[in-house]
Amino acid sequence: MRWLPNALSLSRVFLAPLIGWMILNRHEWAWTLFFWISWTDALDGWLARKMGVASRLGAYLDPLGDKVWVIVATLAWWKMGRIPNWLMAMVLTRDFMILLGSAYVHRRTGQKDFSPSQWGKLSTIIQLTMLAGCFTLGDAWLSVLLYAAAVGTVISGVDYALTGRRMLRSGAAA
């Protein structure tokens, strides 16, 4: 059972292409798979803490699983015309900047702990809500979620940039 939290995180990576294909092909089970993948995100961390099996591997797999499947689902809904170009660009740019920024901080300081911030977690929840809304909401309500996702994306991006700046200034463990 020690492997279960990491297996759930890894499942998001492997299921990402399937959910993208299902969304693009309007498959009747797309919502069910989307719901399952969403819950594995909460479940893996909870299980790791509850079972006392949190690991360094899990610390990498969890955010990787999140990024891969959220980006794939976002790309699929963008391709279907439910997510506008400007929001797609924002989401991809923020994630790319987080990746580059964490690599830069690691190279400069040796820092390896890049825990998700509270703003990052909130942004993910908003993005997941928006992606779920793409399945069922009309344009007016979906617009509200699109703008909420944009605000969350910007706030979390700024928060991650400020955190990276603090890490560079402190020169953690070089």
Same domain, 50 and 17: yes
pLDDT of 154 reads 96
Q: Are residues 117 and 157 in the same domain?
A: yes
User: Amino acid identity of 92?
Assistant: L
Give the model's confidence band at 30: pLDDT under 50 very low, under 70 low, under 90 confident, else very high: very high
How confident is the model at residue 174, as a pLDDT?
A: 43
Task: Check residue 172 and give its pLDDT.
Answer: 53
User: Is the per-residue pLDDT at 83 higher than 90?
Assistant: yes
Domain containing 147 equals: 81-174
Co-location of 164 and 91 in the same domain:
yes
39: Cβ–Cβ under 8 A, 6 or more apart, which residues?
none
CA–CA gap between residue 88 and residue 27 (Å, rounded): 22
Structure tokens at 31: 């919502």
In a domain, 104, yes or no: yes
Burial label for 11, CB within 10 Å (0-12, 13-18, 19+), is middle
How many domains does one find in the chain? Answer: 2
Q: Do 116 and 88 belong to one domain?
A: yes
46 shares its domain with 111: no
Q: What is the pTM of this model?
A: 0.86
In whole angstroms, give the CA distance from residue 19 to residue 22: 5
Tokens 């809304």, residue located: 133
Residues 56 and 92 in one domain: no
Judge whether 170 lies within some domain. Answer: yes
Average pLDDT of the residues in 76-104? 93
Could you tell me if residue 71 is inside a domain? no
Residues 48 and 104 reside in one and the same domain: no
pLDDT of residue 136 exceeding 70, the answer is: yes
